[in-house]
Chain A
Amino acid sequence: MKKSTNKAPAPQKKQSFGVYMKRYWQLYALLALPLLYLFIFKYVPMVYIQIAFKKYSIVQSVWEMPWAANNGFEFFIKAFNNKDFINALRNTLVLNLLDLVVGFPAPIIFALILNELVFKKFKRVVQTIAYMPHFLSWVIIYGLALQIFAPSTGFLNMILTNLGFESVPFLNEPAHWVGTYIFLGIWQSFGWNSIVYLAAIAGINSELYEAASVDGAGRFKKMWHITLPGIKPTIVVLLVMNLGNILGSSFDRPFALQNNLVMNAAEVLSTFVYKNGIKGLQFSLTTAVGFFQSIVCVIFLLLANWISRRLGERGIW
């Protein structure tokens, strides 16, 4: 957001670059280190994006590698002819969309409910418990999930079978697995993600609530007409950022949770890249896939931002 730049007094009228720098050079000096970091670790490695268009060789520098066939697009064509890629693309979209539809409102609802709690201590305890899963690695979460959801040794299924029900294939049947995947994702992140909303709620002017009370508004009316509109800009910013990530995928979550029986639904782009690139040595192909993924993400981000601005919201820039 642009707010931060307003802290320094705005220059009265047009000044020359030299005068400007003389006054603010300390600020830019502070910026230099992060910029250097970005430059070295984010921009320099981008040179190797080229291998998406080249025939990768381990002994040649990236400038020497020969161009791939079809004007360098050989590997993009190969990727789109690869069933596994198409499958991974589909799974990525489906899982991310479900995550967005089911997972995005969860922290908002949680923040609203938490905000209504009167006892401060209870509120804090609940908050802390909800944050905790965020700090667990996905490998550990899968370990927990196995203990709870495994078909024969899982705690939940043992209860079900002892009660005379059929055991539910939470982890070993694709449709159920998707449900488990989404559920675990929400469980892991809703508490942490609610922090932003709680902060936004805290920023709402309390006079508004008082005025509403005077006018006879109940809890739900206040929530609907004051709290939600108050955090709307935050919601929109986060939504735009989430939409930007619609084709992106984290690696550890799907990788830790997938297993051979559900691979059809569980293989996503990041694990596809890992299996074919790092394990299968097809570096050019998987760089092409990663590049494609990034481009789609950027397009989505720009599009979502544009739409939100058209709708009168602020967007992210």
Chain B
Amino acid sequence: MKKKLLSVLLAGCMVISLAACGSNDSGSTTQDSGQTQTTDTKTDESADAAKDTTDTAPTEDSAAADPTNGEVVDGKFVDTRKITVEVYDRGNDDGSDPTNNKYTKYIQDKMMELHNVEVEFIAVPRWTEVEQINNLLAAGDAPDICLTYDYPTVQTYANMGGVLDLSSYVDDYRDLLPNLWDWLGETNIYWDKDPVEGTLWAIEGKRAVTNRINTFVRKDWLDKLGLKEPTTRQEFYDMLVAFRDNADTLLGADADKMIPYSVSFDVGWRAALLIESFIDPDISDYEYYINGFDDRALTQPGTKEAIRLLNQWYNEGLLWDDFALYSSGDSTEDDMIKAGYVGCFMHNWDYPYRDGENSIQTNLERMVGPDAKFVVVDCFEDIKGGHNKFITSSAGDRKIFFPTTNDEPLASMMYLDFISSPEVIEYLQIGDEGVTHNKLEDGAVEIIAATGDDIQNSGFNLDYTITCNGLHLVDEELTLKSMAHSYSGIDPALVETAHKVCNTDTRPAKNVNVGAIAAEEGQGPTLASKRDVIYDTAVAAPVENFDKVWDDGIADYLSSGGQAIIDERTEKWKATFGDATSLPE
């Protein structure tokens, strides 16, 4: 009896729940889709959604010169507006709260003063940014101004109708956005504009410095062993062997901790210069583009031979045995470099010099001795004998986009304009004189390590200057002079060499804009983790298995969507540029 009753009750509950959900949901849908329902029959829903939102700030009807319809007077909103802005949380040991510190207050005060806009920052962990922003977007809680390094994510959400089309804003409000246009220019603003539809889902932030990767070598070890800085691949290899064989001399009691060459699980990045030296420096734009979906050059011609070499080195004990076991954001490898166990590595062009007191170089001097230092070498010759490096263009940094939940697109655009103005960038990058920087005799700026609330959580407050990556002072000449001085506690000569080397023999990336590639949608993270698996397993394979591991991996990569991307890229290139193999100048 009781059992029966209970089951009846439960069943009743379920029925009610289903019914209730039904009504609940349809209730909320009328709210959600209010914009789209009236224009249901139109073809492109997302475009409509975007258009409808722009209608709230009427653009078409107001014939007057003021596109904001009197909402903005002298650059200021009549009523206070509120926007939310994404900021990366790097979780630095001694860092400040990225959403509430001296610099956020500066931005908030200025925005209020200049535009009557209230700004709130929303922290997103740097190392899981794509996952996190996906969650926020899916939940409808995304900040009004979102950033990501991953364009396919933007494209995927745009296809679902979750991203605002910015094309009308950048054009219609051009007069209100002088700084944005001055700083980014048409190149970066229109970089992602769809050539057919004319939609613009994201604006590309600009790199003030397009330096990419360098190879760092322990100069004091070279001196100790009486070696020259390597200038060829062979000399690099000989150096690694010398490090390995002289571990006792170099590390004494810690000889078993010797790592001649350290890579992480991200082999494609941490051996990039070696990999790229196997690619023909004159590879056609066409071939480079169709194989270019993977930003670690997995499917470029030549990569396999580079990894084969790494595989040999691994099996000769020249690489870090445990490289694949630590995931991104883990500091184990950095700690070993700081402790002085590592002979050389490849990373971002200024990696060991970054972070003031916490930099690798400073730590190394502290733990090993004042002579210990990493210098930059240029030793991977390509088939033409140069040292070709594929560098980025000024675009391709962070992509800024507005989700459709953004109710204040104009205020958000004005934020982008504000954050692009030269004075704001300069202040955020170098802070206050005497606190975060000193002026040198020649006028150059020297950064000093700050603590407490003055600390910059990212180099030059990169996380706040979302349209600008790299030092950019109002005075351009000073910028160059200051760059070498901008690394507190680091010999400026080291930085100058690093800057010089990564600007030798470069081939900047070009914008191949042939419209969205449907096959790439949603594939970015999946294929990227596949790529890492291929690189890692191939490097760690026994030499005799290398071909099998690599070929199986690539076959799997291609059949999991890689080939479809190459095919579609080929097709769209042919449709746009015909048989030409290089881009029109």
Binding site for B on A (CB under 8 A): 5, 11, 14, 17, 20, 28, 35, 39, 43-44, 47, 56-64, 82-84, 146, 150-153, 158, 171-172, 259-261, 263, 275-276, 278-283
Contacts and interface: CB of A to CB of B under 8 A. Distances in A.
A259 B134 contact: no
A276 B526 contact: yes
Nearest to A282: B522
Contacts of B14: 43
B23 to A, nearest CB: 11
Given A11-B1, A263-B533, A62 B25 contact: yes
B294 interface: no
Interface residues of B, number: 61
B525 interface: yes
25 contacts: A35-B13, A43-B14, A47-B21, A58-B137, A59-B32, A59-B162, A60-B33, A60-B161, A61-B32, A61-B33, A146-B322, A146-B326, A150-B322, A171-B325, A172-B540, A259-B324, A260-B535, A260-B536, A260-B537, A263-B533, A278-B135, A280-B524, A280-B525, A281-B134, A281-B522
B324 A260 contact: yes
B124 to A, nearest CB: 14
A84 B49 CA distance: 36
B175 interface: no
A56 B157 CA distance: 11
A58 B13 contact: no
B184 to A, nearest CB: 27
Nearest to B153: A281
Contact of A280 (B25, B162, B523): B523
A281 to B, nearest CB: 5
Contacts of B32: 59-61
B511 interface: no
A151 B540 CA distance: 12
A87 B166 CA distance: 42
Given A83-B560, A172-B325, A279-B525, A59 B161 contact: yes
A283 B33 CA distance: 20
B327 interface: yes
B5 A20 contact: yes
Contacts of B46: 59
A39 B13 contact: yes
Contacts of A281: 134, 153, 156-157, 522
B161 A278 contact: no
Contacts of A57: 160-161
A61 B24 CA distance: 11
A59 B525 contact: no
Contacts of A39: 13, 17
Contacts of A47: 18, 21-22, 25
Contacts of A63: 22, 25-26, 29
Contacts of A278: 131, 134-135
Contact of B525 (A35, A84, A172, A275): A275
A82 B14 CA distance: 34
B545 interface: no
Interface string B242-273: 00000000000000110000000100000000
Given A57-B160, A172-B540, A275 B529 contact: yes
A59 B158 CA distance: 10
B331 interface: no
Contacts of A171: 325
A41 to B, nearest CB: 11
A172 B25 contact: no
Contacts of A60: 29, 32-33, 161
B454 interface: no
Nearest to B523: A280
B559 A64 contact: no
Contacts of B160: 56-59
Interface in B118-170: 130-131, 134-135, 137-138, 153, 156-157, 160-162
A50 to B, nearest CB: 10
Given A5-B2, A61-B25, A151 B321 contact: yes
A270 to B, nearest CB: 15
A152 B24 CA distance: 57
Interface string B299-326: 0000000000000000000001110111
B265 A43 contact: no
A88 B525 CA distance: 17
B162 A275 contact: no
Given A43-B13, A261-B537, 19 more contacts: A17-B5, A20-B5, A43-B14, A43-B18, A59-B36, A60-B32, A63-B22, A64-B29, A83-B556, A152-B322, A153-B322, A259-B327, A260-B265, A260-B324, A261-B540, A275-B529, A280-B522, A281-B134, A281-B153
A58 B162 contact: yes
B25 A146 contact: no
B357 interface: no
A60 B1 CA distance: 45
A44 B28 CA distance: 14
B134 A59 contact: no
Nearest to B532: A260
B404 interface: yes
A126 B474 CA distance: 69
A279 B132 CA distance: 9
Nearest to B320: A152
A58 B138 contact: yes
A5 B160 CA distance: 51
B1 A14 contact: yes
Closest 5 CB pairs of A and B: A61-B29, A260-B536, A279-B525, A152-B321, A58-B162
Contacts of A58: 137-138, 157, 160-162
A82 B135 CA distance: 24
Interface in B1-56: 1-3, 5, 9, 13-14, 17-18, 20-22, 24-26, 28-29, 32-33, 36, 45-46, 49
A171 B131 CA distance: 26
A64 B33 contact: yes
Residue among A57, A82, A83, A280 with the highest chain B CB neighbour number at 10 A = A280
B526 A279 contact: yes
Nearest to B531: A260
Nearest to A43: B17
Nearest to B27: A61
B130 A279 contact: yes
Contact of B324 (A35, A56, A82, A261): A261
Contacts of B161: 57-60
A84 B560 contact: yes
Nearest to B46: A59
A304 to B, nearest CB: 21
Nearest to B403: A58
